[in-house]
Structure 1
């Protein structure tokens, strides 16, 4: 597989190379925000408030469903009056009990890890909220437990339905008065994602298309993706995951200041070396920094020093600044751009971004 950037402006290639429709799925993100909000309202997630504020919120999910929990925690921020934890495994932590809210999220509604956790939550007497496909095993568990369930119309790859799965969690948290979120916020987020879809549309040429430009930056490198705040770190993790699943491409991610205590040493390692006489740049490190307007002052100092150090060692750097007044808006902008970039990176390598054959093969092997 070779990287050929001219593929990104070949409309026929972009269409034929994406038979699963990942680009249209990413472009549907704004509609997913509106649909997720409407589904949550129609499911009456506000009923959760009648039981009072829980001791803790535990979100159970894998892949994009787990990232929904991370987004919720980042929106709530450090000022949240309770812990918000994401569980990506088959078991609830031992401390989770009847005074806690467990939110089980699964796009298809049949993720085995999430079903296992939802079942444990019911047995322990936890309040349960389910989000997933209608008529699914997850909905059956919620119905049997008389729990609130939000059916969302997930189609295709669930990783492209992040906002369908995430928005109901934010609506539920708003009903519990844990986060400030109303219809106006979700409409602003949707409009931001619409603007991103317009700027990153396939017909927009590479020199003005931010999604294609980021894909070109990442190509033939090993990306180190850093977030400068909890919100930006969620976007960094999402970008790394999308690079893995869409482009079948390796990536590291982390959050400042933590990455300054280990990942930074890679600037002095073999992947940071470049042969200036080589015909191609080769696969070297690229530092991608996702910046947030809400940075701790010491994080800002560490970020600036880290970027200077990277440039002094000839490590190429890409900086992206989040925009928006609400953390959900800022995450949506960074995540939307990363979703496009990962898809364009796949297409630049002539890789179909939709199939996940290795994941499917592992699932088949363990089910035997």
Structure 2
């Protein structure tokens, strides 16, 4: 597999190499925002208010569904009056009980980890909100428990359904007073994603297409992706996951200030060295910094110093800045670009971005 940047401006290649329609799925993100909000409202998530404010909110989900919990915590911010945690496992912690709300999220509704957590939540008397397809095992758990179920019907692979899964969770949090997010916020998020889809469309050439440009930066490097705030952290994790799953590509994820206590040391290691006289160039480190307007002052200083350290050592740097008033808007600005970049990276390597054969094989082996 070789990287050929010219493939990104070859319209025939972009069509033929993407038979699963990943680029189309990413372009549908704005529609997912509107559909997800409508589904949550019609399902009556505002009924959660009648149950009283929970002691804690626990989001159960795997893969993209699990990311909804990270996004919820980031959007609610440090001022939220209760803990918000994400569980990506089979077992509820012992402290979770009847005064807590468990939000079980799944694009398929049949992940054994998420279904198991939902069953345990019901047995402990927790409040339950299920976001999943109708007719799925997870919906059955919610129906049996007389819990609220938001029906969603993702098209395409689960990782392309991020916004369809996330928005109902944010609507529920808004109903509980954990975050201020009225209809106008969701419409601005949709508009942000529409703008990104227009700028990153396949017919837009690489030199003006931010999705293609980021893919070209990342190619033939080992990206070390850092976020400088909770919002940027969630987006950085999304980019790393998308590079793994869509691009079949390695990536290192980190968050400031923690990355400044460990990962920054990689800037003095073997992957940070580039031999311009070498016959064959190997992969080199690239620092990818995702930044937000809501940074702790010390984190801002650490971000700026880290970028100087990288440049002083000739380590390539990519900077992505979040834009928007609401944290959900700013997250959309980063995630929308990340999703396009990962897809274009796969296509630049002539890889079909949709299949995930190794994940399917792993699940098959585990189930034997």
2:124 maps to 1:117: no
In 1, the alpha carbon distance for the partners of 2:97 and 2:68 equals: 22
Query: Partners of 1:21 and 1:224 in 2: how far apart?
Result: 28
1:71 corresponds to 2:46: no
Change (3 A) 1:279 1:27: farther
Match of 1:21 in 2: 21
Instruction: For structure 1, list consecutive stretches of 5 or more residues without a partner in the other structure.
Output: none
* 3-state SS in 2 of match to 1:247: coil
Alignment of 1:121-132 (within 5 A): 121-132=121-132
- How far has the Cα of 1:52 moved from its partner? 0.6
Per-residue CA shift, 1:6-54, capped at 9, x if unaligned? 0000000000000010000000000000000000000000000001100
Q: After superposition, where does 1:318-337 map in structure 2 within 5 Å? A: 318-337=318-337
For 2:77 and 2:340, locate their aligned partners in 1 and report how far apart those are by CA, in whole Å: 27
Within 5 Å, give how 1:237-256 maps onto structure 2.
Answer: 237-256=237-256
Matched, 1:349 2:349: yes
Partner of residue 302, structure 1: 302
Aligned mates of 1:82, 1:268 — CA distance in 2: 41
SS for the counterpart of 1:207 is helix
TM superposition shift of 1:280 = 5.8
Q: Which residue matches 1:317?
A: 317
> Hey, what does 2:91 align to over in structure 1?
91
Q: Which residue of 2 aligns with 1:2?
A: 2
Describe the shift of the 1:281–1:318 C-alpha distance in structure 2 as closer, same or farther (beyond 3 A). farther
C-alpha distance in 2 between matches for 1:172 and 1:324? 22
Residue 271 (structure 2) aligns with = 271
Alpha-carbon distance in structure 2 between the residues aligned to 1:119 and 1:58: 14
Separation in 2 of the partners of 1:297 and 1:336?
A: 26
Deviations 1:45-77 (A, max 9, x none): 000000110000000000110001100000111
Per-residue CA distance 1:327-347 (angstroms, 9 max, x = gap): 100001100000000000000
The aligned runs of 1:35-50 (5 Å cut-off) are 35-50=35-50
Aligned twin of 1:359:
359
Q: Give CA deviations for 1:135-158 in whole Å, capped at 9, x if unaligned.
A: 111110000000000001112101
Q: Distance in 2 between matches of 1:339 and 1:281?
A: 27
Distance 1:310 1:196 in 2: 28
- For residue 248 of structure 1, give the secondary structure of its aligned residue in structure 2: coil
| Separation of aligned partners in 2, 1:333 and 1:308 | 25
Report the secondary structure of 2:206's partner residue: coil
Matched, 1:164 2:153: no
1:151 is aligned to 2:151: yes
Superposed displacement of residue 86, structure 1: 0.1
Query: TM-score with structure 2 length normalisation?
Result: 0.99
C-alpha deviation, 1:362, in angstroms: 0.8
In 2, the alpha carbon distance for the partners of 1:106 and 1:130 equals 8
TM-score, normalized by length of structure 1?
Answer: 0.99
Structure 2, unpaired ranges of 5+: none
Distance 2:271 2:125 in 1: 51
State how far apart, in whole Å, the 1-side matches of 2:146 and 2:166 are: 22
**3-state SS in 2 of match to 1:253:** strand
Question: What SS class does the counterpart of residue 179 from structure 1 fall into?
Answer: coil
Rounded Cα–Cα distance in structure 1 between residues aligned with 2:96 and 2:90 = 14
The answer for the alignment partner of 1:217 in structure 2 is 217
1:281 is displaced (CA, Å) by 4.4
Distance in 1, matches of 2:278 and 2:168, equals 51
**Deviant stretches of 4+, over 2 Å:** 278-282
**Per-residue Cα deviation, 1:95-151 (whole angstroms, up to 9, x for no partner):** 000000000000011111000000000000000000011111111000000000000
1:31 aligned residue: 31
Aligned mates of 1:226, 1:32 — CA distance in 2: 27
In structure 1, C-alpha distance between the alignment counterparts of 2:87 and 2:285, rounded to whole Å: 31
